[in-house]
């Protein structure tokens, strides 16, 4: 393999090292044909012994899966200048080999050419800080369900952004195995280099290792010049706040996007201390730590004054920018005056609780709005309601109001006000439902307090109602001449079998051809067509035409094969049944040998049973029409083959997966016996070849 040339012009930053964060490195090459490998460049000076982990594990939105591998790179014991290139590939002994500065441990031996990604992070796998990512296919739009890892695809961690810190040079659902940044020499700032790296036209990609494999990668030569530090300033003016009132938001602006992750402190001085205020992020020792993400042009923090119950008059102080990291310089203004006042002739209104949890069966409940001190005159409070996607007005009753925006009149002398809430039992299996009530405005003698909203969660309690005996019984992916959905119209179909002795309504359940998106289609509520009779069958039409009726899906089935699943919802997907359908020819189907059973078989054209028991399929029958008579069917210990033709033929027996099991020659009008006692129960194919024809006949072995 070609050794990369690392003749780099290394540029040292005069200032201190930048914090290791997103955008500190970027990928230069990605090879998934063995030997697997990748290359990356650091865009910032890295401190001695900086550790970066690279993994092809997927991300579920909150944690890394642990079903694949991780390789760890450690930078040299001295500062590593920006623009250094590291090329890492996997050896035949499944060890990571490094060409470039630093050391590696671990390996990435199984990067998939069928679509894969690398996630780079610092810290531990349990609490990763992601710094970069690359994929040789599209990142998933929806994260994989927790506990259901997918080897060759992942969603993107929310801290990374395509075109900034995540690279997708292919931008296609069809993976390309090898790719590299084809600009060998570059001089500019990190932002300019990032812009070039994120331009897909600057990448060469191919499934041919001789076109885009590591042997073709250039000896990258980068001269990375640090940008001028950004000037940082705080929004000017005086900040007047009341004890106990809602938090105020303060903005810090940068004159240019932050290069790398930057940090500073906001110091509190005067007769205000950290004990008088509450900040986000939380401060200590009269200093509020502020982190500015790479590329940010502004950042905010909040500050509120705590109600201490002590009459002390106004308190004054100053918020000052200090302790700036090396990518920042102090701009103007660099401070803001703060005055904390005690409430006078006003009441602070706040919700008593931030979160309330109820069960659907709890019925009537109440929660409180508090006024401190009690109102001295009639006042008004305006609220807004926001709902989770699965919550509707039929799930609850709220009194005094249930409109999206409403105003409540509060009499004089009131210190608390109650909302009455009634949850409804809907007997549907679904995710938890949430309603958020927020104070959005008040009359002049009221001040909104720190607890401005309450989130009411109706906990799911109907999971036991999920039907346990639903099966995907049969699937047809290319319906040309089979059953018609409408007169003259043939559509792909999925047959669902209800093995229970009670009718099952599919309403609220999900059907999907993508295990990464189990909620692709949801059966609607309120239609008799979605009811599967006891021990009965129903067809769902995969025609991407939901407007045609409640059993018409929003997707089609690929004739090249895919996985079909039926799912319930109880805060996460619950798998009721799945089936992996192989590639199918026109009018063939794939399904269960017996309704609701375990064995899966191919049904040839004209033997499919849409809406009927699979036991009625011609797969359990045979005739002499092909010139070959088989009996008994199902076979147990032996199968008798009769050649009714005058000419000889060659007979071979195959499994449903295409593995040849045995063969024999039959002369014209000859009979022979095949030993089936050694075969497992299931479906097999007998292929007879004569001078004039080749005939494939299915038969069943059943012990």
- Which tens digit of pLDDT belongs to each residue from 256-266? 888 778 899 99
Q: CB under 8 Å to 96, separation ≥6 — which residues?
A: 71, 88, 89, 90, 104, 105, 106, 107, 108
35: confidence class by pLDDT, cuts 50, 70, 90: confident
What is the arrangement of strands in the sheet containing 178-181, beginning at the earlier edge strand? 96-99, 85-90, 37-42, 25-31, 178-181, 203-206
Q: Sign of dihedral through CA atoms 410, 411, 416, 419?
A: negative
Same domain, yes or no, for 34 and 126?
yes
Question: Is 1 within the bounds of a domain?
Answer: no
492: confidence class by pLDDT, cuts 50, 70, 90: very high
Number of domains observed in the structure of the chain: 5
Q: What is the pLDDT of residue 16?
A: 30
Question: For tokens 């075109």, what's the residue?
Answer: 163
Stretch 502-513: mean pLDDT, rounded? 89
- Which tens digit of pLDDT belongs to each residue from 224-274? 887 788 999 998 778 888 888 888 899 999 998 887 788 999 999 998 877
Q: What is the pLDDT of residue 450?
A: 82
34: confidence class by pLDDT, cuts 50, 70, 90: confident
**What count of other Cβ atoms lies within 10 Å of the Cβ of residue 245?**
21
Q: What is the pLDDT of residue 618?
A: 47
pLDDT above 80 for 3: no
Question: Is 303 within the bounds of a domain?
Answer: yes
- Which tens digit of pLDDT belongs to each residue from 36-75? 999 999 988 888 999 999 999 989 888 888 888 999 999 9
Q: What is the pLDDT of residue 17?
A: 35
Phi, psi of 212 (to 5 degrees): -130, 10
Question: For tokens 């995969």, what's the residue?
Answer: 542
Look up the domain containing 627 and give its range. 621-701
Q: Which of 459, 482, 500 is the last residue of a domain?
A: 459
Interatomic CA distance for residues 372 and 415, integer angstroms: 6
Q: What is the pLDDT of residue 467?
A: 79
Same domain, yes or no, for 471 and 607?
yes
Q: What is the pLDDT of residue 426?
A: 65
Query: Can you say how many angstroms the Cα of residue 353 is from the centroid of all Cα atoms in its chain?
Result: 32
Q: What is the pLDDT of residue 222?
A: 93
Same domain, yes or no, for 274 and 415?
no
Same domain, yes or no, for 123 and 202?
yes
Same domain, yes or no, for 315 and 419?
no
Q: CB under 8 Å to 505, separation ≥6 — which residues?
A: 530, 531, 532
Q: What is the pLDDT of residue 230?
A: 92
Question: Is 455 within the bounds of a domain?
Answer: yes
11: confidence class by pLDDT, cuts 50, 70, 90: very low
Question: Is 491 within the bounds of a domain?
Answer: yes
pLDDT above 90 for 104: yes
Q: What is the pLDDT of residue 124?
A: 92
Q: What is the pLDDT of residue 151?
A: 57
Interatomic CA distance for residues 272 and 341, integer angstroms: 11
Determine contact, residues 280/302, Cβ cutoff 8 Å. yes
Interatomic CA distance for residues 528 and 538, integer angstroms: 12
Structure tokens at 248: 């105020």
Same domain, yes or no, for 36 and 73?
yes
Buried b / exposed e over 358-384, threshold 16 CB at 10 Å, is: bebeeeeeebebbbbeebeeebebebe
Question: Is 14 within the bounds of a domain?
Answer: no
Stretch 276-297: mean pLDDT, rounded? 89
Question: For tokens 């201490």, what's the residue?
Answer: 308
Same domain, yes or no, for 542 and 411?
no
Interatomic CA distance for residues 235 and 321, integer angstroms: 11
- Which tens digit of pLDDT belongs to each residue from 578-624? 999 988 889 888 888 778 888 787 887 877 888 888 766 544 444 44
> 102-106, 281-285, 341-345, 517-521: which range is least confident on average?
341-345
- Which tens digit of pLDDT belongs to each residue from 382-394? 999 988 876 777 7
Determine contact, residues 193/224, Cβ cutoff 8 Å. yes
Same domain, yes or no, for 645 and 604?
no
DSSP symbol at 606: T
Q: What is the pLDDT of residue 18?
A: 39
Same domain, yes or no, for 125 and 68?
yes
Q: Which of 616, 651, 686 is the last residue of a domain?
A: 616
Mean pLDDT, the chain, rounded, equals: 84
280: confidence class by pLDDT, cuts 50, 70, 90: very high
pTM for the full predicted model: 0.45
Q: Which of 324, 331, 316 is nearest to 266 (CA)?
A: 324
Phi, psi of 219 (to 5 degrees): -85, 85
Q: Which of 616, 638, 670 is the last residue of a domain?
A: 616
Listing DSSP states for 202-217 in one string gives GEEEES-HHHHSGGG-
Q: Which of 503, 502, 544, 550 is nearest to 526 (CA)?
A: 550
Stretch 2-16: mean pLDDT, rounded? 29
Q: What percent of the chain has pLDDT over 70?
A: 89
Question: For tokens 């040292």, what's the residue?
Answer: 12
pLDDT above 50 for 1: no
Structure tokens at 593: 């040998």
Same domain, yes or no, for 376 and 497?
no
Same domain, yes or no, for 399 and 524?
no
Q: CB under 8 Å to 669, separation ≥6 — which residues?
A: 643, 644, 645, 646
- Which tens digit of pLDDT belongs to each residue from 311-325? 667 789 999 999 999
Q: CB under 8 Å to 303, separation ≥6 — which residues?
A: 239, 241, 247, 248, 250, 277, 278, 279, 288, 319, 338
- Which tens digit of pLDDT belongs to each residue from 546-555? 888 999 999 9
pLDDT above 70 for 573: no
Which residues share a beta bridge with 284? 287
Question: Is 7 within the bounds of a domain?
Answer: no
Question: Is 65 within the bounds of a domain?
Answer: yes
Structure tokens at 623: 């005739």
Structure tokens at 32: 């998934």
pLDDT above 60 for 363: yes
Stretch 113-123: mean pLDDT, rounded? 90
- Which tens digit of pLDDT belongs to each residue from 663-702? 878 787 888 888 888 888 777 777 777 766 667 777 778 7
Please give, one letter per residue, the 3-state secondary structure of 96-154: EEEECCCEEEECCCCCCCCCCEEEEEEECCCCEEEEEEEECCCCECCCCCCCCCCCCCC
What is the CATH classification number for the domain harbouring 686? 2.60.40.3080
Stretch 9-37: mean pLDDT, rounded? 64
Q: CB under 8 Å to 676, separation ≥6 — which residues?
A: 635, 636, 637, 638, 639, 701
Q: What percent of the chain has pLDDT over 90?
A: 38
Q: Which of 654, 619, 653 is nearest to 634 (CA)?
A: 619
What is the CATH classification number for the domain harbouring 357? 2.60.40.2030
Structure tokens at 676: 């089936």
pLDDT above 70 for 196: yes
Higher model confidence: residue 662 or residue 692?
A: 662
Question: Is 31 within the bounds of a domain?
Answer: yes
- Which tens digit of pLDDT belongs to each residue from 142-167? 777 655 556 577 889 988 988 889 99
**What count of other Cβ atoms lies within 10 Å of the Cβ of residue 313?**
8
Same domain, yes or no, for 408 and 271?
no
Listing DSSP states for 433-481 in one string gives EEEEEEEEEE-TTEEEBS--EEEEEEE---GGGS-S-EEEEEEES--SS
Interatomic CA distance for residues 470 and 467, integer angstroms: 7
């Amino acid at each position: 393999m070609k050794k990369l040339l690392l003749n780099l012009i290394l540029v040292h930053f005069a200032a201190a090292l930048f914090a290791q964060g997103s955008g500190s490195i970027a990928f230069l090459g990605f090879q998934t044909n063995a030997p697997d490998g990748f290359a990356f460049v650091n865009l910032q000076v890295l401190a001695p012994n900086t550790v970066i982990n690279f993994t092809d594990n997927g991300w579920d939105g909150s944690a890394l899966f642990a079903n694949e591998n991780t390789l760890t790179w450690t930078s040299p014991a001295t500062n590593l200048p920006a623009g250094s290139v590291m090329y890492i590939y996997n050896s035949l002994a499944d060890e990571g080999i490094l060409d470039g500065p630093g050391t590696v441990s671990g390996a990435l031996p199984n990067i998939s050419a069928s679509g894969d990604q690398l996630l780079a992070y610092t810290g531990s796998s349990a609490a990763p800080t992601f710094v970069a990512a690359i994929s040789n296919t599209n990142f998933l739009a929806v994260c994989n369900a927790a506990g259901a890892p997918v080897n060759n695809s992942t969603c993107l961690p929310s801290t990374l952004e395509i075109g900034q810190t995540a690279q997708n040079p292919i931008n296609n659902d069809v993976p390309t195995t090898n790719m590299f940044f084809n600009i060998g020499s570059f001089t500019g700032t990190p932002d300019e280099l990032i812009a070039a790296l994120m331009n897909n036209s600057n990448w060469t990609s191919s499934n041919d290792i001789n076109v885009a494999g590591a042997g073709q990668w250039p000896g990258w030569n980068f001269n990375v010049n640090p940008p001028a530090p950004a000037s940082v300033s705080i929004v000017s003016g005086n900040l007047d706040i009341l004890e106990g009132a809602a938090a105020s938001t303060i903005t810090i602006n940068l004159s240019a996007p932050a290069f790398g992750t930057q940090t500073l402190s906001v110091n509190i001085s005067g007769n205000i201390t950290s004990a008088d205020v509450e900040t986000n992020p939380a401060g200590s020792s009269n200093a509020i730590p502020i982190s500015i993400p790479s590329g940010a042009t502004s950042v905010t923090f909040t500050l509120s004054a705590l109600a201490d119950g002590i009459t002390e008059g106004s308190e004054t102080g100053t918020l000052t920018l200090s302790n700036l990291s090396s990518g920042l310089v102090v701009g103007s203004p660099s401070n803001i005056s703060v005055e904390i006042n005690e409430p006078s002739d006003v009441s602070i209104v706040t919700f008593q609780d931030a979160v309330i949890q109820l069960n659907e069966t709890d019925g009537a409940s109440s929660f409180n709005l508090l006024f401190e001190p009690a109102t001295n005159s009639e006042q008004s409070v305006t609220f807004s309601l926001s709902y989770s996607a699965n919550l509707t007005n039929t799930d609850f009753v709220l009194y005094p109001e249930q409109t999206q925006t409403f105003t409540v009149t509060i009499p004089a002398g009131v210190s608390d006000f109650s909302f009455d809430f009634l949850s409804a039992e809907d007997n549907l299996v679904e995710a938890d439902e949430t309603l958020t009530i927020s104070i959005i405005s008040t009359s002049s003698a009221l001040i909104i307090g720190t607890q401005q909203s309450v989130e009411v969660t109706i906990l799911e309690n109907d999971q036991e109602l999920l039907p346990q005996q639903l099966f995907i019984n049969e699937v047809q992916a290319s319906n040309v001449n089979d059953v018609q959905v409408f007169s003259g119209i043939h559509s792909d179909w999925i047959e669902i079998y209800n093995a229970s002795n009670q009718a099952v309504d599919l309403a609220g359940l999900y059907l999907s051809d993508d295990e990464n998106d189990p909620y692709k289609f949801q059966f609607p509520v309120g239609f008799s067509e979605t009811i599967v009779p006891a021990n009965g069958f129903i067809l769902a039409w995969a025609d991407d035409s939901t407007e045609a009726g409640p059993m018409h899906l929003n997707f089609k089935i690929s004739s090249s094969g895919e996985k079909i699943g039926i799912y319930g919802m109880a805060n996460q997907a619950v798998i009721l049944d799945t089936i992996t359908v192989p590639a199918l020819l026109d009018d063939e189907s794939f399904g269960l040998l017996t309704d609701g059973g375990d064995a899966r078989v191919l049904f040839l054209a004209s033997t499919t049973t849409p809406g009927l028991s699979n036991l009625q399929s011609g797969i359990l029958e045979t005739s002499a029409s092909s010139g070959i008579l088989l009996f008994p069917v199902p076979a147990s210990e032996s199968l008798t083959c009769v050649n009714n033709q005058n000419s000889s033929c060659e007979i071979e027996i195959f499994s449903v997966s295409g593995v040849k099991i045995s063969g024999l020659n039959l002369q014209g009008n000859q009979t022979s016996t095949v030993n089936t006692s050694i075969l497992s129960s299931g479906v097999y194919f007998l292929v007879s070849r004569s001078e004039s024809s080749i005939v494939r006949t299915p038969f069943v072995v059943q012990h």
